[in-house]
């Protein structure tokens, strides 16, 4: 999965789980703040990633967010379970999982076998 997609997943999952509204996420692997903002609710996601100049949007059906990444033109599936999440990036054929603790988000990317740390 690419850096921008990973950061967007961390942002979306972090906001859903923590309930904290913020206008971005800090990506420790890139040592930079990524500006992302928009609407995230129990039923839908509609955000704009300013670093990658694209929308990511979708609906929640049966506790699964079916998202579409307009910048990369592919779907992403995101399941939230308590403070944990998992999913699949169809564009990169990559599974991911993670958890949120307050404003800290960890994403494990199965394609790279690396844990990535973010904060809201």
- Span 37-58, average pLDDT: 95
Look up tokens 């309930």; give the residue.
Answer: 19
Residue 62 has pLDDT above 90, yes or no: no
Stretch 65-93: mean pLDDT, rounded? 96
Average pLDDT, the chain: 96
Q: What is the pLDDT of residue 7?
A: 97
Q: How many domains does the chain have?
A: 1
User: Which CATH number characterizes residue 88's domain?
Assistant: 2.40.128
- Residue 3: phi, psi to the nearest 5? -55, -45
Q: In 3D, which of 86, 106, 83 has the Cα closest to residue 96? A: 86
What is the domain extent for residue 47? 3-119
Give the pLDDT confidence score for residue 58 in this predicted structure.
98
The pTM of this model reads 0.96
């Amino acid at each position: 999965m690419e850096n921008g997609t990973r950061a967007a997943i961390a942002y979306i999952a972090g906001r859903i789980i923590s309930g904290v509204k913020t206008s971005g996420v800090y990506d420790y692997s890139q040592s930079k703040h990524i500006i992302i903002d928009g609407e995230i609710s129990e039923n839908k996601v509609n955000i704009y990633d300013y670093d990658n100049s694209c929308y990511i949007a979708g609906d929640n059906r049966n506790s699964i967010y079916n998202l579409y990444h307009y910048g990369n033109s592919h779907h992403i599936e995101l399941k939230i379970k308590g403070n944990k999440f998992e999913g699949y990036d169809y564009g990169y054929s990559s599974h991911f999982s993670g958890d949120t603790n307050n404003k800290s988000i960890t994403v494990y990317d199965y394609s790279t076998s690396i844990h990535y740390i973010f904060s809201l």
